[in-house]
Amino acid sequence: MGMMFDTPRFANTVPFFRFQRFGHGDARTDSDHKLVVVMVGLPARGKSYIVKKLKRYLSWLGFQTKIFNVGDRRRLAGSTDEHEHKPASARRTNGASAACAGCDGPSAMGNGMQTPSCTHCATRHSSAFFDPDNAKAKQIREQVALDVFEDLLRWLQAGGQIAIHDATNSTIERRCALISRLKSEADVNLLFVESICTDKDIINRNIKLKTQSPDYVGIDPEVAEADFRARLRNYERAYRTIGAAEEKLDVQYCKIIDVGKKVIAYNIQGFLESQVVFYLMNMNLESRVIYVTRHGESEDNAAGRIGGDASLAPNGTKYAKALARFIDRRRIEFAAEVEENNRRLAHFMASGSSSGANSEPESVTSHGSHASAPCSMPSSLRSHVQPDFEIWTSMLKRTMETVEYFDPLRYRIKNIRSLNEIYAGKCEGMTYEEIAREYPDEYEARQLDKFYYRYPGIGGESYADVVLRLQQVIVELERIRHSVLLVTHRAMARTLLSYFMDIPTTHMPDMDLPLGFIYGCEPRPFGNFLRVWQYDSDRDDFEEINASSVLKIRYPKIAMSEQTPASPLLPSPAETAYSSKH
């Protein structure tokens, strides 16, 4: 007859993903291997977009992940090497056949326009630096790429798990050099990820955005765009897609075509590699918002008890009605915002002006107070209002009761067990004061390590467990092409927002997320844009507030030192290995 064992209580001696997924920390498994992800592709093909999303996802899963950007290192090298730094007065502005006064390279542009500095001038590298026939510049570029790769390997040897080499790596010669270098590294796997884009509109938009990169600081946008297009033509001359040469070397690779519309995976064997490929298959660029809110106040909330399956208290029912009105209104407002953003983008693409291109779009509707009456929909917005809008709740009564006032003909409501609150084991239904009194050791252990602490008793969970059960939810939220409202619980909201806002898992359990707030995450090319609304019970409506003043970490007193601020702002998305130096 079998016996039931409680699950292990702590996992803080090994990376939590390996512990939770595979059990024994001393066992040799595929997850013990490290992974180098090498990006491949022409400029303006979305590599940086993919890299940032991938890093955020893998870090959220618990892997030590870091981006090593070759462009940042190349600009750093260009600004410090004596052979690449000459006075700005050396620029030339004469005809197309003129050479730069600071070097022997040809001027990138003529027609009287001031040339951006080339590889031997004061600011950044011009298109001439990327000419495949420029032997000296090519040698510098290859050396910088290999130097960054060495930095990457040293970081892995020091304890990192997944390193991302963010560069074009667009030639067979460069890729073979990286493959050859990695052969001497034990337990380090290699995965090429090539981003291919054939959509001319996306490429042109990306080129416009490239004029705001560090290479073109202080350069006229039209001049910068012309130079970048010349750089792109130079890359296209030397570019070779991944294919037979790499397959002969038995490497793993994945091609992402048009942001996931088509995916080609070759020879994918490792566990980490499969995680990467599966995630990259579920990306899209559709305009949408992921709304996250906790349920309305429940009877257990009013009593200060955790867990359980209580119904809503009267205040919770009032919140549920206001939530339905708010989302009805927000669907129309968001349609107006999308229409306005499309108009601004079209103006930006036509004018070449950088104003407003990378700024956060303002809402067309007024922020702050709104009338509670139902909104009529202007005929001009009917085509922009998304016909599909899903609402996801947990399987617990307090979340399902919170969405009872939504029109089922206008919303698809799904109840998902993975969104259930973290299970507190034998502490279910207790107050924190009761836990501190009856289980003082458990209470103290939780204060010391909230993320890995697992509640005692059969089925008790930790935040590490919650991350694993929300993994499929996150992938589905990346795949889905329309807006979603998630009505869930505090631990679930913390875990979801830590993913979307790239908040380290060590800070996740201390995020202060009270009842009565709605968090709207809008995916954008440079990351997720967060907006926050707070419920005002006196007005029975929501008001938008400053997101940075709300999302704070409240550290437990037992873990605080004199140097630790009581409520530090959450960190911004992580920078690359070299970007902090600029």
Residues annotated as catalytic are: 166, 197, 421, 489
**Which residue type occupies 33?**
H
Rounded Cα gap, residues 319 and 316, in angstroms = 5
| Sign of the four-CA dihedral 306, 307, 311, 316 | positive
Q: Which residues contact 545 (CB under 8 A, 6 or more apart)?
A: 532, 533, 534
Q: Encoding tokens for residue 200?
A: 């001319």
Using CA atoms, how far residue 384 sits from 327, 333, 340, 374, 377, in Å, is 16, 10, 11, 18, 11
Environment class of residue 75 by beta-carbon count within 10 Å: exposed (0-12), middle (13-18) or buried (19+)? buried
Phi, psi of 440 (to 5 degrees): -60, -35
Rg (CA), the chain: 26
Given a contact cutoff of 8 angstroms between Cβ atoms, the answer to whether 114 and 227 are in contact is: no
Q: Which residues contact 125 (CB under 8 A, 6 or more apart)?
A: 74, 75, 78, 117, 118, 119, 137, 215
Within 13 Å, how many C-alpha atoms sit on residue 490's CB side? Answer: 16
DSSP track, 536-580 = ETTTTEEEEE-GGGT-BB---GGG--TTS-SSPBPPPSPP-TTGG
State the CB neighbour count (10 A cutoff) for residue 505. 19
Q: Encoding tokens for residue 296?
A: 């309305």
Rounded Cα gap, residues 319 and 294, in angstroms = 10
Rounded Cα gap, residues 436 and 15, in angstroms = 28
State the CB neighbour count (10 A cutoff) for residue 440. 10
CA 135 to chain CA centroid, Å, is 37
Rounded Cα gap, residues 524 and 575, in angstroms = 17
CA nearest 221: which of 206, 209, 230?
209
Given a contact cutoff of 8 angstroms between Cβ atoms, the answer to whether 39 and 163 are in contact is: no
Rounded Cα gap, residues 385 and 521, in angstroms = 18
Environment class of residue 518 by beta-carbon count within 10 Å: exposed (0-12), middle (13-18) or buried (19+)? buried
Q: Encoding tokens for residue 327?
A: 């989302």
Buried b (16+ CB within 10 A) or exposed e, 133-159: ebeebbebbeebbeebbebbbebbeee
